Structure 1
Amino acid sequence: MAKLTAIVCVQNQETILDACLKKLSFCDEVVVVADRCTDRSQEIARRHGAVVIDGIFPLESQRKLAGVEAASSQWILEVEPDDLIDAAVAWEIRAAIQMRPVGDWYDLPIDNYVGETLVREGWAGALSARREARLFKRGLKAWEPRRLNAPYVLAGAPGGSLKGAIRRVVGRDVGGLMERLHRLTGLAAEDLADAGRAKGLVSSLLAAAATFIAAYVVRRGFREGRLGFLVAGLSAMFPVLSQMRAAEVVQARKAAVAAEETRAARPRNVVGLGR
């Protein structure tokens, strides 16, 4: 019988972790990677019987790899702390890996909710995805070193897409969606600063306009009413805010280096020995 390990990476997300882990009882094992958590995330994970990996993992790729290395199963299910795996999807996942799998990895659709409202259309940029390769055999997925939305490569044969969708609560309400935008742009800013890709305001505004059109028109966000407009607007704000915050990160790093150089250049007081 094929074994399945769910991997959940958290960063001080105790408010949503309990609901996520309750939905993972169909897995043979759950591994929670706690990155610099100072809340009750580890306690909640252990209460659910999860294997807890506690440490410092600045990059998303580091967290994912730590989870895979700790897993003891052949199959891995990647789960975000704001994901909920309902019973019908859980059954389909188990069936996919037990009944003569046709591939080595599978895509899972994602249904994005704001509170209790399903927002199907209009997702673009980094706020959330509509589909991701979340179910795969151990050792076949590798992530690039990034803090946010780390690109990945998959080896082996694709098995297609499952029908059931992960239920992702991207925000408890509009305020929660704004909090998500703030958190994600902070991570994106660090990535941009690391790569030296901070751009000017004009380039950011052009990217914002293109993202809004993609979200609201091409991906049919207009069908979702006011929430569709909000999602398109926040998606458009993402590149602008990320670039502005990246500039702040670069300046802060330069200031820190300058302060360290000043401190190192100061003459040290030498206390002589008196006669």
Structure 2
Amino acid sequence: MIRLSALVCVQNQDAMLAECLRKLSFCDEVVVVADRCTDRSQEIARRNGCIVLDGIFPLESQRKAAGAEACTGDWVLEVEPDELIDAHLAWEIRAVLQMRPDGDHYDLPIDNYLGDTLIRDGWAGPLSARRETRLYRRGLKTWTPARLDAPATLEGRSGGALKGAVRRMLGADLSGLLARLDRRTSLAAEDLADRAGQPAAIVAVAKGAATFLSAYLMRGGWREGRMGVVTAALQGLFPVMAQIRARDVIEARTAAAAAESARIARLRERRFAAR
């Protein structure tokens, strides 16, 4: 029998966690990485019989790597705390693994829901995706350091995509989607601030316009009617908001560093005067 581990990384996201974990009962083990959680995430995970890793993981890549290291299964299935694996997809995953899989990793389609409404088309990446590589042999996936959407490197051969889709809940309504945009632009701003340089404002605006057009026209957002316009517009705002917030992060870091330098200088002066 091929053993399957599920990996769930959570940061104060206990709203759907219990249901998410219940849907993973078809896995041989579930590893939950709780990053600085102050809600009920750890309690919920332990109550559902999960292996829980408590810690401080500033980067998404660190959480993923720590969780993957703790997994003992032959294969790893990555699931976010706002996602559900239905019975059909669970059966498909198990069937693929038991019938001598052709590949070393597989993509899983993602169905994005806002409340009870499925928004199938128009996703360009900043807020969600249409499919991601979530099922892979343990030890074949590594992540580049990043706070948001850490780029991954996969060894081995792709087996293509499964037919069943992960059900991702983006929020109960539009305010939930806006909250998602706020959280993700905040993390993206930290990543931008870590880099040596930032894109100019005009570059961020151009990227935002290109993202909007890609989401609405090339990726079929127009098929979703009014919600297609809204989601494409929010995705277009993402690079602009991230760049603006990155400037604020850099200014705050500079001010904090200056204050720390001044504090150290005052301490040295006091020590010198006391001699």
| TM-score range relative to shorter protein | over 0.9
Q: CA deviation at 1:195?
A: 1.2
CA shift in 2, pair 1:131/1:265, >3 Å? same
Q: CA deviation at 1:100?
A: 1.3
C-alpha distance in structure 2 between counterparts of 1:36 and 1:75, whole Å: 27
SS in 1 for 2:142: strand
C-alpha distance in structure 2 between counterparts of 1:223 and 1:119, whole Å: 9
Cross-structure match for 1:23:
23
Cross-structure match for 1:205:
205
Cross-structure match for 1:184:
184
SS in 2 for 1:14: coil
Residues 1:218 and 2:187 aligned together = no
Amino acid at match of 2:62: Q
Cross-structure match for 1:150:
150
Q: CA deviation at 1:271?
A: 8.5
C-alpha distance in structure 1 between counterparts of 2:148 and 2:58, whole Å: 10
C-alpha distance in structure 2 between counterparts of 1:100 and 1:158, whole Å: 14
Cross-structure match for 1:168:
168
**Cα RMSD between the aligned structures?**
1.3
Q: CA deviation at 1:52?
A: 0.2
C-alpha distance in structure 1 between counterparts of 2:72 and 2:233, whole Å: 42
Cross-structure match for 1:113:
113
Q: Within 5 Å, which residues of 2 pair with 1:114-153?
A: 114-153=114-153
Cross-structure match for 1:59:
59
Unaligned runs of at least 5 residues, structure 1: none
Q: CA deviation at 1:158?
A: 1.2
| TM-score normalised over the length of structure 1 | 0.97
CA shift in 2, pair 1:233/1:3, >3 Å? same
Cross-structure match for 1:68:
68
Unaligned runs of at least 5 residues, structure 2: none
SS in 1 for 2:209: helix
SS in 2 for 1:210: helix
Q: CA deviation at 1:157?
A: 1.6
SS in 2 for 1:2: coil
> Which deviates further from its counterpart, 82-91 or 262-271?
262-271
C-alpha distance in structure 2 between counterparts of 1:171 and 1:195, whole Å: 31
Q: CA deviation at 1:72?
A: 1.1
SS in 1 for 2:53: strand
Q: CA deviation at 1:226?
A: 1.2
Q: Cα deviations across residues 3-34 of structure 1 (Å, max 9, x unaligned)?
A: 00000000000112112111100000000000
Amino acid at match of 2:227: L
Q: Cα deviations across residues 137-171 of structure 1 (Å, max 9, x unaligned)?
A: 00001110011011111111211110000010111
Cross-structure match for 2:194:
194
C-alpha distance in structure 1 between counterparts of 2:125 and 2:92, whole Å: 28
Cross-structure match for 2:39:
39
Q: CA deviation at 1:261?
A: 0.7
C-alpha distance in structure 1 between counterparts of 2:172 and 2:238, whole Å: 19
Identity level (%)? 62
Cross-structure match for 1:268:
270
C-alpha distance in structure 2 between counterparts of 1:187 and 1:98, whole Å: 38
C-alpha distance in structure 1 between counterparts of 2:273 and 2:60, whole Å: 49
SS in 2 for 1:199: coil
Q: CA deviation at 1:269?
A: 6.0
Q: Cα deviations across residues 92-148 of structure 1 (Å, max 9, x unaligned)?
A: 000111111111111110011111100011001310011111000000011100110
SS in 2 for 1:6: strand
SS in 2 for 1:26: coil
SS in 1 for 2:239: helix
C-alpha distance in structure 2 between counterparts of 1:65 and 1:41, whole Å: 19
C-alpha distance in structure 1 between counterparts of 2:198 and 2:116, whole Å: 37
Residues 1:89 and 2:89 aligned together = yes
Aligned residues: 273
C-alpha distance in structure 1 between counterparts of 2:7 and 2:39, whole Å: 19
Amino acid at match of 1:174: L
Amino acid at match of 1:127: L
Q: CA deviation at 1:201?
A: 2.1
| TM-score normalised over the length of structure 2 | 0.97
Cross-structure match for 1:99:
99
